[in-house]
A and B are shown apart, each in its own frame.
Chain A
Amino acid sequence: MELVIDGLFGIGISFKLDGFRIIFASLTIIMWIIAMEFSKDYFRKGYTDEITGKEDGGASGFVFFSMLVLAAALGMVLSNDMLSAFIFFEVMSLGSYPWVAHFGTAKDMRAAASYLTYAIVGGLATLTGILLLVRNTGTLCYDELYKLGTTMSHDDKFKLFVPCLLIIFGYAAKAGMFPLHTWLAPSYAAAPAPAAALLSAVLSKTGIIGILVVSAGIMTGLYEWGMMILIFGIITMLVGGLWAMLSVDAKKIIAYSSMSQIGYIIVALGVLCMLRSSWYNPAVSPYYIVNASEGAFLHMINHSVYKMIFFIVIGIVSMEYGRNLDINKIKGWGYNKIFLKIIFTIAVLGISGVPFLSGYVSKTFIHEGILDYLEFVRLGMAEGSVSLMRAFEILFLIGGGCTLAYMLKIYIPVFWCKPEGEKDSENADIAAEEIKSDNRLENDTEEAAENKEGKTVGKLSVAVYIMLGVLSVFVVVCGVAPHYTLERLGNEGMSFFGAAQLKGFEYFSWDNLKGAGISLAIGLLLYFSVARNVKKRIIPAWFSLEKMLYKPVLFGILPTICTFFMRICDWCIEGPVYLIRKTILKDNSVEPKPRKEHIKFQEFMAAGNLLAKSVSFGLIMFATAFLAIIIYLLFAMLG
């Protein structure tokens, strides 16, 4: 079903409804319902705004912008051409800015500024890319771009490399792909928990959709493109995993985990694109990419569900402890909370890819996708080398291991360590003090102490618990019976990937279980060797691409150089006028502001340095005489 509204927003927008979009739009709405329900509880204990006198912790503003972003996200998901997708994407990016800036402390504002800069720079890059693309292809409609992707020759596609790179710049920034990920962790940590959940569960997926329509559409089958996406995906996965293992703030661990999981999806997209390059018979080809497509799509769904659970649980913790969630501080928080413990256990095991939970299914598909391509390379049906693909497979398994390691890093201290008796109350005091000092999140000390004894459950509405329960039931059911659940969902969405329907996949075959087993073993190893032992923040604050490269270049070097030349241009007419007035017209009324050098020069002259004066006098006399000689010579020659 298609809907074209001509003339709206200038060039007109178009929507389409197919399996992928229905599933994704429903997912978006479900996630929004859960987050908004949770936000009611989250903001209940908020502060009183000193000017407006509102006592809802700014929740009304939050709700307004959430609804705006919901509309834009749905528009982005449903749109059927690049321009309408881009329009909604930009509204979404700007509308979600107040989420990140919600609490308004200096740190939050820095994170929000970074978020906004990425949104604007990315948006303009995407717009440039779209302009260049439409000039070459003449259309922006997804359906036609998909068709073009199957008919265009390799060289023609290669000419579109730069436009497509520019297009995915904005989308990759929103997804948090590797060189553009620096906004991610600070912004997720700054945003209120429901907003962070939505940023991770839905907004990052819209970025993925942007990369998807380029990789599976116009650029499909271009080996170089697929390889680039694959490499970025692997790096994103590993950097996210590593940083998560080395972080100690629970919210940051979840944020980096999000980046790492996005890396998985990007890997699947890269493989999907590369698999198409092995086409010999276009009629058969949709069958090649089934595994990779299923992997990408199902992991998008699964990751949304997991991140929703994690961010809500972390949000519940932060309702007690304020927003600084050092895992040493929140140790033992969930020891007595049976329900949350069960849910968190399911989510941790699921996202790590333990069999019989939904994460295992999608990760297996992505793994199978990589193996598919490996098989093609081995048979000589595709470009690339076997050893390289083997290396990617191993890195992929290591990435899976990282997931288990960093998840255990939160899970074991928070839910399995006993809250330590005396230390505990001390912690509560510290926590209470910190909360008090944070002027935006004032809290009753008594309340915090009360919560500490495990009575928070009373503060949360039942609805949130029910929703968490439903999400975890979804995880378990999908994991146990993927044939009836995830496979059907996935098949509905396959047309968007240009893939065929999946049939007869052996989910629990020995090979697949072996892959998961290796990954989990690596995970345990990493946990006991690395993740568990990092108890302090060991990554120095200056060690980030943003601080070392992006900020100095974008806000320092480039503007300075540019301003220098522009000032010269600015003076190009005033300068001569000023010069004329000072020299020919002898106009002394236009005194400039006395500059430092000017004053120094006057002081120097007033001080009457004999030597300097006599040297300059001598020079003047010399020049006068020289001039006289030249004039004489000229006349002599002419005469």
Chain B
Amino acid sequence: MELRLNSEFIIRYRMDELGVIFAILATVMYVLIGIYHTGYFKKDKHKKAYYVFYVISWLSMLSQFFADNLITMYISFEFISFSTSMLVFHDRNKASEKGGFRILYFSITGAFTALFGVFALYANKGADIPFIKGGSLGNVFLNENRTLFLVCAFLMIIGFGVKAAILPYHAWLPEAHPVAPAPGSALLSGIVVKCGAFAVIRTVFYVFGVGFIMDTWVQTVWMALSITSILLGSMLAYREKVFKKRLAYSTVSQMNYIMFGLSLLNEAGVLGSLIHVIMHAMVKTALFLVAGNIIHQTGKKHVDELDGLGKYMPVTFCCYTIASITLVGIPPAGTFISKWYLASGALEFSGAVSRLAFAGMIVIMISALLTAGYLFPVSIKGYFGKCRYEDVQGKCEPKASMTAPLIILILFILILAVYPKMIFDGLASFAAALM
């Protein structure tokens, strides 16, 4: 599908493997979270406006996933930023206003950072930049002005990385998530952040090509930033007491597993990243839906207030426990496989900064430890602790419309944990083809 505005500025769509993988993932999550809304927004006045932006964000996401050239993807990327910030504004109070503007500012800053790169590329190329496996620009063109294009690549990685929560641009997550309605934050952490990873994959593997970035300072800085963000997210989540904020910091660290895997630019690393995209989307959505259930039923937002709730909300807490075990990556959980490939990718890494990659592997292990440290106490205290609040006692599970999506997600997670081969083989051949 093509809409030609002039010789350079073409809106064009095409379906390819990567787009389809992400689009299916996004659509499944949108449907599940959509079902969840019906229970969560039972008596909400502004739910119609919310649904409008919900659908717009879905469409712009599909537009990004199926975009066939850089400019189309960039425009869709901006659309996603605007429509998702509207989801954060939903509560219409001071806090949500602040959170919404935060996500808006950060997205725009990131997008403009990337825009610099996009402009420079288009200005030099003078023609459309499509997405082709292995890089559409070609080494001849890139070597004409190597320094400039390296800067472009860096700015685009960091700029699109604003959604993938890479270091300088990670700060919108912990502000936006707690104030958004729970399904909204599930959407932000489950799918919207994946758009950043998607844009980075398109930039690196489809526009510049692996060979151009391999062993340059861009790769080094990219890797160092993602490693630092992994540690930052886990560490601050470990110290955070507000439940949704903790999960948001957790997203910072988990998304940077993906960025780290991509920055390795080898097959195992990319495979690990792709598996982690899928696993993290499901797990984080499930965790935020759990947070939503708890907030909807009891109104408790603080981690220390959840003691003893496991007895009153057994399904929710059971789902939470399974999801948190999965996120930690303890075998046989699904993220164990992605972690295995990320770590073996880091060990196989033969580039100039192999020591940095090795450090990245160690950081992934430490981060897994911290993940256990910030997720398990909630479920342990939930089951073994004693409830201190009179008003909370006896509050039971929410309606089926709120538990059903959660249970479906957990079933997906369990099936993928036991037999990941069904997604794994396709992803492996895809990752091999990317190189």
Contact = CB atoms under 8 A, between A and B. Distances in A.
Interface stretch (A486-494, A506-514, A558-566): A558-566
B362 A128 contact: yes
A141 to B, nearest CB: 17
Contact of A562 (B231, B331, B362, B368): B231
Contact of A135 (B325, B337, B347): B347
Contacts of A109: 380, 384
A353 interface: no
Given A120-B328, A127-B365, A566-B231, A11 B236 contact: no
B235 interface: yes
B232 A569 contact: yes
Contacts of B311: 51-52
Contacts of B235: 559, 562-563, 566
Nearest to A94: B330
Classify chain A's interface size.
35 or more
Interface string A554-580: 000001001100110110111000000
Interface string A84-97: 00110011001000
Contact of B343 (A52, A131, A562): A131
A10 B268 CA distance: 14
Contact of B424 (A7, A127, A569): A7
B337 A563 contact: no
A584 to B, nearest CB: 17
A480 interface: no
A573 B347 CA distance: 32
Interface string A64-91: 0000000000000000000000110011
B418 A131 contact: no
Given A91-B331, A559-B239, A574 B419 contact: no
B236 A572 contact: no
Contacts of A552: none
Given A87-B332, A573-B168, A574-B171, A120 B340 contact: no
Nearest to A571: B171
B336 interface: yes
Contact of B369 (A94, A104, A121, A131): A121
B376 A116 contact: yes
A11 B419 contact: no
- Prevailing SS type, chain A contact patch: helix
Contacts of A125: 365
A506 to B, nearest CB: 47
A91 B384 CA distance: 20
A134 B341 CA distance: 12
A562 B235 CA distance: 7
B386 to A, nearest CB: 9
A9 interface: yes
Interface string B148-182: 00000000000000000001111100000000000
B323 to A, nearest CB: 14
B347 A132 contact: yes
B348 A135 contact: yes
A124 interface: yes
Contact of A94 (B238, B325, B365): B325
A123 interface: yes
Contacts of B171: 570, 573-574
A87 B369 contact: no
A135 B368 CA distance: 21
Contact of B332 (A10, A113, A567): A10
A10 B344 CA distance: 14
B331 A120 contact: no
B368 A10 contact: no
A130 to B, nearest CB: 9
Interface string A395-422: 0000000000000000000000000000
Interface in B341-363: 343-344, 347-348, 361-362
B378 to A, nearest CB: 13
A563 B374 CA distance: 14
Nearest to A121: B369
Contacts of A116: 372, 376, 380
A606 interface: no
B298 interface: no
Nearest to B236: A566
A573 B361 contact: no
B421 interface: yes
Interface residues of B, number: 42
B401 interface: no
Contacts of A574: 171
Given A86-B331, A120-B330, A120-B372, A10 B361 contact: no
A124 B368 contact: yes
Contacts of A127: 343, 365
Nearest to B109: A573
A127 to B, nearest CB: 7
A86 B340 CA distance: 13
A556 to B, nearest CB: 13
A10 B336 contact: yes
A131 B325 contact: no
Contacts of A538: none
Contacts of B369: 120-121, 124
A94 B380 CA distance: 12
Contacts of A120: 328, 330, 369, 372
B39 interface: no
Contacts of B134: none
A441 interface: no
B384 A131 contact: no
Nearest to B233: A566
Contacts of B27: none
Contact of A131 (B167, B331, B337, B347): B347
Interface string B9-32: 000000000000000000000000
Contacts of B336: 9-10, 87
Interface string B311-342: 11000000000000100101110101100100
B59 interface: no
A91 B171 CA distance: 35
Contacts of A572: 167-168
Contacts of B362: 128
Contacts of A559: 235, 238-239
B420 interface: yes
Nearest to B171: A574
Interface in A106-120: 109, 112-113, 116, 120
Given A127-B365, A128-B362, A104 B231 contact: no
B347 A570 contact: no
B330 A8 contact: no
A101 interface: yes
Nearest to B371: A120
B316 to A, nearest CB: 15
B421 A570 contact: no
Interface in B94-130: none
Interface string B220-242: 00000000100110011011000
B295 interface: no
A90 B325 CA distance: 11
A128 B361 contact: yes
A10 B337 contact: yes
B232 A570 contact: yes
B54 to A, nearest CB: 29
A137 to B, nearest CB: 13
A112 B332 CA distance: 22
Nearest to A7: B421
Interface in A529-573: 559, 562-563, 566-567, 569-570, 572-573
A11 B238 contact: no
B417 interface: yes
5 contacts: A9-B332, A11-B337, A120-B369, A131-B340, A135-B347
Among all A-B residue pairs, the 7 with the closest Cβ atoms: A7-B421, A10-B337, A87-B331, A9-B332, A566-B232, A566-B235, A104-B384
Given A127-B365, A566-B235, 8 more contacts: A10-B334, A87-B336, A94-B325, A101-B384, A128-B365, A559-B235, A563-B235, A574-B171
